[in-house]
Structure 1
Amino acid sequence: MRRLWSGLRRGVTPLGRAVISTGLLALTLARLTGLVELAVVAALCLLLVAIGLAVVLAPSDVRAVLVLRPDRTSVGSPVRGRLRLANRWPVSVLSPVVEVPAGTESRWLRLPTLRAYGTHDAQLVVPAPRRGVITVGPVVYRRTDPVGLFARRVRWAAPVELLVRPATVDLAGLPLGEIRDLEGVPSDRLSMSDLAFHALREYVRGDDLRHVHWRSSARAGQLLVRQYHDTRRTSALLLVDTRPEAYADPEDFELALSVAASVTMRAGHDGYDLALVCGDTIVGGGDPSYVLDAFCRATLDAPGNTHALADLVTRGLAAAYDASLLFLVSGTATPLVDLQRVVAQTPADLWAAVWRTGAGEKAGLAEYAGRPIVTLGELGQLPVAMSEVAR
């Protein structure tokens, strides 16, 4: 009851305050002067207040569910949502007005009358102007009286999250690295359990008997086991620099995430295992959609919690020890000598490339210790640059 009264006090509109003040003043003056006209004014104000309270506080039971399909999108691609309403009260709700917040914006929807025990589906469009996580909702019904003296906010539907992924471009392909894909050329590493047959060798104690080739063993008079080429899928490691000093402008960080997301999309298409290290976020190999979702929540490091560039590489190699490809994405504000030092610490058998992003910068390609260092000024330059370094 106390919560209801507190909410009601906050819901008194400026017009409601004026009517209440006028009624109280007229009632006081009527008692002092005995004027009937003032008593009538006070009675009318009291009647309006009573009707307004009765309308605003009247019980209702409306259940609503907010659904976004899909609940993930990319920058600039709006998402359509559906608000499903069910009136479980024997009284109709006349033309309700609901508020649907979406991030920093709020939209008002006027719905048709909800009949008693009736249902209604309302369509809405949620824009996605920037990368990030947009909270859509909660859906709030703004209930007012006919005169507009009181306004009561009733929550109808819980909020939902919309993940807005970075903008991406299509890439023709990624480098193959040392270990090729299952459909490609096997590596030089040998394995006792795989798909590409290599040769037969003598049985050694501890070998799995399932790999014994019985026909050859019978002819040779000794146990022989199959040995295979290692045909594991290519594993890629993606590192995103989250130090604020690495980027001359916050938009450069958005460009860096778009580059990383484009690489992720291509890696998923080619069936590569992909691991991501982005600030405190570490996503192991698996479904690339988890990596794309991590980009939605990525932020620059807070002051005092900055990750060193060398530490980023160290943590990445520990998370993906068998990686054959490494992509490091940073900003053009990072000194070139720091990037060269990082390149020098990567293993010699690991294909590595550094991508420097800076909005408006001139595209360029350099090499250090045989590793490409690419500068990008816009996302559209990535496909050509990737084709050059993937040769």
Structure 2
Amino acid sequence: MGLLDKLPRYLFTRRGWGMLASGAFTLAAAQVMGRRDLLTLALLLLVLPLISLAGVRLAKPRFRVYREFNPSPVETSAPAAVHLAVARTDPGSGRVAMEERLPPQFGHAPAFRFPSRSASGGVSRYEYRLSSRHRGQFRIGPVTAEFTDPFGLSLHRQAIDDGDVLTVTPAAVVLPATGLAGARGYDGVTATRVRANPSDDDVMTREYRHGDPMRRVHWAATARHGALMVRQEESVTTPEATILLDHRPGAFGGPGAATDWKRGQDGHPMATSETFEWCVVAAMSISAHLAERNYSLRLLDTGGDPAFLHSPSSPEPATEAYAGTSGLQSIAESLAAIQLSGSPHPRRDGARRNAAGRASQSHGATALRIPPDTTHEPPAFDDRLMDKLSAHRMRGPVIAVLGRITAEEAVALAPAAAYGTNAFAIVAVERPAEARSVLEVLRQGGWQAVAVDPKTQLAGAWAQFDQDPALPSAPASEVRRGAGLTR
């Protein structure tokens, strides 16, 4: 029995291997004893398993698999129920052993028998739960079925579907209320007076509606129209918050900030780091915090492009504006698989490959290949970004979630504080003490800025914006002179 357990199970069952062994022994006995009846028995014992093996591979049963995740997408560490429905599409019968393939981080693969005891209408239903501590996109499945012949001699295992992708989004952290809203108030709305017309008689009016206060009645327009008219000089507008998300490899690499290479749902490496993961959670939490206060959101990267332009999980990569519950859901999905990325530079492609090869040799055979789009970074905080911010000047706060930035980059970013009703910057680095000079430059430009490390509590960092107000704004030229730098 111990010897049979060591034989490969993807060809024959124990019964099949036993029959082959018996056939070989009988064949040897027939040769020694010269018995034709033993020879016939030996051939039968040897041929029958082989015929069963050929039959189970040529006449494979056909199935249809339906898989549903609830909820989908799911947040990190939250359980998701997987509902499977398996139906046979051929007239065959018999029991089949099945197994759902899972990525290693989800633990043991669930196994089940088809048909199930509760099968109805030819459809067997199964349910199991899984959860992930890491964000990303993961392929769940396929379901593999292990077929056997009617005699139980041979086995054949094959996938009966392609699997489905489960999107795991970063979970938002609840943030404390701060003075972020500024003059627009905490409820996310503001009254805006329309002063476009030079004369009070030319103010926009409309017909009186039940419930309008009498103080808004415009008597001159009432006299002209012969009907009660009210003013329309007050309208409610929705404020807009702009979030800058830094995902440059250079901002999260370097000494003390090891890059982690995670396998994506198709086996490709996903570049991230502990500090970048902190920033992803921060971007998700800030977006949820503002969306709950009726803010519309605009997410950009440090070059002025849509923040999720290179995110494989983004439903609409070219979109930069989001609003409402659906917009927040789209942000969460886009953050699920976002990674450190830049724009490829054709002239540097050879240098990138050589550097990747040297890195692979220095780290051994297990080192992962560096993706070709993560070695060259587009300019950060240049005129393109400033033009984007200027187009939405003073519509709401500007919030920057950054990695390590240089003093030159801080000088370039500092004037952007003038484009928002408030400006907040979170600089995530391994050693926050080394970012003091950068924070000083940003504060002189009008930003409220804090430096954090990956172990900092996000709620505590957010609360510092009330405890550490920004210094008075200084002209951009003074900021440059104070830093001793030129752009």
- Which one-letter code corresponds to 2:385 in the other structure? V
Is the CA contact (8 Å cut-off) linking 1:235 and 1:272 kept in structure 2? yes
Residue number among 147, 150, 161 corresponding to 1:143 in the alignment: 147
- Which structure carries more relative contact order (alpha carbon 8 Å, separation 6+)? 1
- Which one-letter code corresponds to 1:381 in the other structure? Q
Residue 319 and residue 85 in structure 1: after superposition, are their counterparts in 2 closer, same or farther (change >3 A)?
farther
Paired residue secondary structure (1:186): strand
- Which one-letter code corresponds to 1:334 in the other structure? I
Residue 103 and residue 231 in structure 1: after superposition, are their counterparts in 2 closer, same or farther (change >3 A)?
farther
Paired residue secondary structure (1:42): helix
Q: Which residue of 1 aligns with 2:200?
A: 201
Residue 154 and residue 259 in structure 1: after superposition, are their counterparts in 2 closer, same or farther (change >3 A)?
closer
Q: How many Å apart are 1:242 and its aligned residue?
A: 1.1
RMSD, matched Cα: 4.4
Query: Which range moves more in the overlay, 259-268 or 377-386?
Result: 377-386
CA distance in 2, matches of 1:339, 1:21: 77
CA distance in 1, matches of 2:385, 2:136: 25
Gaps in structure 2 of 5+ consecutive residues: 1-9, 209-215, 259-272, 301-306, 310-316, 342-372, 468-487
Paired residue secondary structure (1:43): helix
Paired residue secondary structure (1:295): helix
CA distance in 2, matches of 1:349, 1:183: 15
CA distance in 2, matches of 1:251, 1:259: 13
Residue 183 and residue 386 in structure 1: after superposition, are their counterparts in 2 closer, same or farther (change >3 A)?
closer
Paired residue secondary structure (1:329): strand
Is the CA contact (8 Å cut-off) linking 1:132 and 1:297 kept in structure 2? yes
Q: Using the aligned pairs only, state the percent identity.
A: 19
CA distance in 1, matches of 2:104, 2:159: 20
Q: Equivalences for 1:155-194 in 2 at 5 Å? A: 155=160, 157-173=161-177, 175-180=180-185, 186-187=191-192, 190=194
Q: Which residue of 1 aligns with 2:42?
A: 41
Q: How many Å apart are 1:39 and its aligned residue?
A: 5.4
Is the CA contact (8 Å cut-off) linking 2:102 and 2:141 kept in structure 1? yes
CA distance in 2, matches of 1:264, 1:44: 69
Q: Do structure 1's residue 329 and structure 2's residue 328 form an aligned pair?
A: no
CA distance in 2, matches of 1:183, 1:323: 11
Gaps in structure 1 of 5+ consecutive residues: 1-10, 193-197
Is the CA contact (8 Å cut-off) linking 1:359 and 1:378 kept in structure 2? yes
Q: Which residue of 2 aligns with 1:386?
A: 462
- Which one-letter code corresponds to 1:308 in the other structure? P
CA distance in 2, matches of 1:88, 1:349: 61
Q: How many Å apart are 1:345 and its aligned residue?
A: 3.7
Q: How many Å apart are 1:284 and its aligned residue?
A: 1.0
CA distance in 2, matches of 1:384, 1:330: 17
Q: How many Å apart are 1:77 and its aligned residue?
A: 1.9
CA distance in 2, matches of 1:79, 1:144: 33
- Which one-letter code corresponds to 1:168 in the other structure? A
- State the TM-score, normalized to the length of structure 2: 0.63
Q: How many Å apart are 1:69 and its aligned residue?
A: 0.3
- Which one-letter code corresponds to 1:259 in the other structure? A
Q: Which residue of 2 aligns with 1:284?
A: 321
Q: Do structure 1's residue 107 and structure 2's residue 122 form an aligned pair?
A: no
- Which one-letter code corresponds to 1:74 in the other structure? E
Q: Which residue of 2 aligns with 1:84?
A: 85
Residue 382 and residue 241 in structure 1: after superposition, are their counterparts in 2 closer, same or farther (change >3 A)?
same
- Which one-letter code corresponds to 1:284 in the other structure? A
Q: How many Å apart are 1:191 and its aligned residue?
A: 6.5
